[in-house]
Structure 1
Amino acid sequence: MKYPEVLGFDALLPQLETFDAIIDARSEAEYALDHIPGAINCPVLNDEERVLVGTLYKQTGAFEAKKVGAPIIARNIARHIETLWADKPREWRPLVYCWRGGNRSGAMAHILARIGWPVVQLEGGYKTYRAHVSAALENPPELDFRVVCGTTGSGKSRLLETLDGIGAQVLDLEKLAAHRGSVLGHLPNEPQPTQKMFESLVWNKLRRFDPSKPVFVESESKKVGNLRVPGVVMERMRASPCIAVNLSRPNRVRLLMEDYEHFCADPSALNTQLDHLVQLHGRAQIEAWHAMANGGEMAELVDQLLEQHYDPAYLRSIDRNFVRYPQADVLALDDIAPDDFLQAARRLHAA
């Protein structure tokens, strides 16, 4: 076999997990926008260098741009080899890609191959990967979704996490989106991925599921924070059988107090989010909730938010969007201890 081997994404997909490393040779900003899940970023040109070379290319032409870019590229590749791969054995087999599978990944793949590693270069680069993901999400695999429903604070996310822990198939959209799915759902110090990255993460989960086994997913709305759930995936979810999680309101308040502990420590952050509800509940009500937050009456505030905002909104949405909810199997939880969720998860997984 002559290396670097150049393969299209469709040919690579069945062996994607066999590579010892997936190397994204694009700049930091390109990588942050989206990348193949599991890829590491080893820029051949970083953000500033890419602008420099790209500007020269437009203003003076390809030859002058390549004269400036070539030594920069060589130094960056040398640094990656010295700091990341110097200890790799001859059998180490990386996959390398850039934007279109051209100069950047080609330069890196050529040098790695000359060293003696069996490197593979993605033909067409990221653009061919992105085209595959977009097409796959337009026609996702037929999966046996089981939609976990329940009002806010009923433990749906904890149940999904527990199901995942015991080996069940789980599509946790909120985890992939780094958001808890409500106006208060932003996770502190954890920004949401871009829309394209979210879609990559969803695609990567869907392709791994066994269609003969159920896939548990939460009854999300079309958007999780700022991110849109792929349309066909949402349609399939909304037509699927439902599981109604039932937990008493006092226990739901306790659970939310645990999950949103950061708001208890910083009432000002909570009040900023509550301001988004002014149009629904009026300024006077929001000011009353502000006062409760500032006064440390968090349990009472959470209870009022459930009664006046979350529960009515959720019940309207679930009845409208999940057509099989009236026939849902009821899953009652007595408490919110880990063992309660473990026993519930085992019942669902065994069903």
Structure 2
Amino acid sequence: MIKPLPVEQFLEKAKTQPIIDVRSPGEYERGHIVGAVNIPLFENHERAEVGTRYKKVGKESAFLMGLDIVGPKLSGFVKKANKVAPNKEVLVHCWRGGMRSGSFATLLNSAGMKVSTMIGGYKAYRNYILDEFRKPLNIIVLGGKTGSGKTEVLYELEKQGEQILDLEGLANHKGSSFGMLGQAPQPMTEHFENMLYEKFSKLDTNRRIWVEDESRNIGCCNIPDGLWQQMRVANVAFIDVQKEIRIKRLVNEYAQFSFEELKTATDRILKRLGGQHHKAALEALAQGDFSIGTDIALTYYDKAYLHGLSKREPSKVKTFEINENNPIATAKRILEATN
């Protein structure tokens, strides 16, 4: 039995059933439903060859070419699917819910499996999740200059019962020019959005959701437009942490990296720092004076952050003066003032 399902029902079933993504490895790597297993009908070069045949010769010739490629793989597909779904119930999708997923579903159904496909395929899924971020949300932005320890405060808010979305954690990047140091490689934006939706889908949208104040881009990952627009007009809890505390925090975090890594990150903000400040920062780092180097870098970052904050509606920004490095106390104080 093969049952085509709209995206929402498909995702509901995905809570208890495995997903097989039959797109090519390249398509899967660019972005996929979190948890989906890739069993590609065509490898990257095979998909390209079939596509070229379709354009140059026609649909029938491309179809026959596809059969020649896929034929020897059929038993392997069934064996792999049985490992993915030993209980014989599985979800299958391709890019547009067309021939690839239909053919794969028919094969598995013939092998005794109960298969559900996604109407519109992965393309419909992408449209669906991006629309979900456009729905009205109760967002509260946790603001603070670089080195304020916003991520630690964010997780303390979660421990105290609040809902959060850790955008930087999903992007494997801490936002600044130095934000990639010590991080795993970043996902492509498409998959970042998919991972973000996977977290978002588990939240209660009737309750407030806390996020850190971010630029539109976190490294190479872009925040979905629907969420970004809501973040820009949301209420902000701005923790104004003393500069000395922030410098100490940043030194503890980044002094472990080599001079070359720190130089490369500093070079990326050369134009923003200005030649004189850039040179002074590198000299300080070369001498192991991380506090001075950090202080100089914050000259730019603080100015940039306050410029962004100034574009928000003043009545929506509540400032908390923070003179200690205590995320637990900071989170409690914010909650007392916002509940």
* The one of 26, 31, 38 aligned to 1:29: 26
Distance in structure 1 (CA, Å) of the matches to 2:182 and 2:71: 39
Q: Is the 8 A contact 2:10 2:91 kept in 1?
A: no
Q: Residue 289 of structure 2 corresponds to which residue in structure 1? A: 297
Q: Is the 8 A contact 1:164 1:170 kept in 2?
A: yes
1:165-244 matched pairs, under 5 angstroms: 165=159, 167-188=161-182, 190-244=184-238
The AA in structure 1 aligned to 2:124 is T
Q: Are residues 1:9 and 2:14 paired?
A: no
* The one of 248, 258, 261 aligned to 1:254: 248
Q: Residue 39 of structure 1 corresponds to which residue in structure 2? A: 36
Q: Is the 8 A contact 2:179 2:219 kept in 1?
A: yes
Unaligned residue ranges in structure 1 (runs of 5+): none
Worse overlay, 125-134 or 161-170: 161-170
1:1-351 matched pairs, under 5 angstroms: 3-13=1-11, 15-83=12-80, 85-86=82-83, 88-90=85-87, 92-137=88-133, 139-140=134-135, 142-165=136-159, 167-188=161-182, 190-261=184-255, 264-306=256-298, 308-321=299-312, 323-324=314-315, 326=317, 328=318, 330=320, 332=322, 334-335=324-325, 340-345=326-331, 351=339
Distance in structure 2 (CA, Å) of the matches to 1:333 and 1:10: 47
Distance in structure 2 (CA, Å) of the matches to 1:324 and 1:42: 52
The AA in structure 2 aligned to 1:286 is H
Distance in structure 1 (CA, Å) of the matches to 2:84 and 2:214: 46
Unaligned residue ranges in structure 2 (runs of 5+): none
Q: What secondary structure sits across from 1:119 in the alignment?
A: strand
Distance in structure 2 (CA, Å) of the matches to 1:8 and 1:131: 12
Distance in structure 1 (CA, Å) of the matches to 2:27 and 2:58: 23
Distance in structure 2 (CA, Å) of the matches to 1:293 and 1:349: 38
Worse overlay, 118-127 or 198-207: 198-207
Alignment length (residue pairs): 337
Q: What secondary structure sits across from 2:92 in the alignment?
A: strand
Distance in structure 2 (CA, Å) of the matches to 1:255 and 1:229: 26
Q: Is the 8 A contact 1:96 1:120 kept in 2?
A: yes
The AA in structure 2 aligned to 1:99 is W
Q: Is the 8 A contact 1:178 1:187 kept in 2?
A: no
Distance in structure 2 (CA, Å) of the matches to 1:198 and 1:302: 30
How high is the TM-score relative to the length of structure 1?
Answer: 0.84
| Two-structure CA RMSD over aligned residues (Å) | 2.7
How high is the TM-score relative to the length of structure 2?
Answer: 0.87
Distance in structure 2 (CA, Å) of the matches to 1:165 and 1:96: 37
Q: Percent identity?
A: 31
Q: What secondary structure sits across from 1:245 in the alignment?
A: strand
Query: How far off its partner does 1:344 sit?
Result: 4.0
Q: Is the 8 A contact 2:142 2:210 kept in 1?
A: yes
Distance in structure 1 (CA, Å) of the matches to 2:83 and 2:179: 43
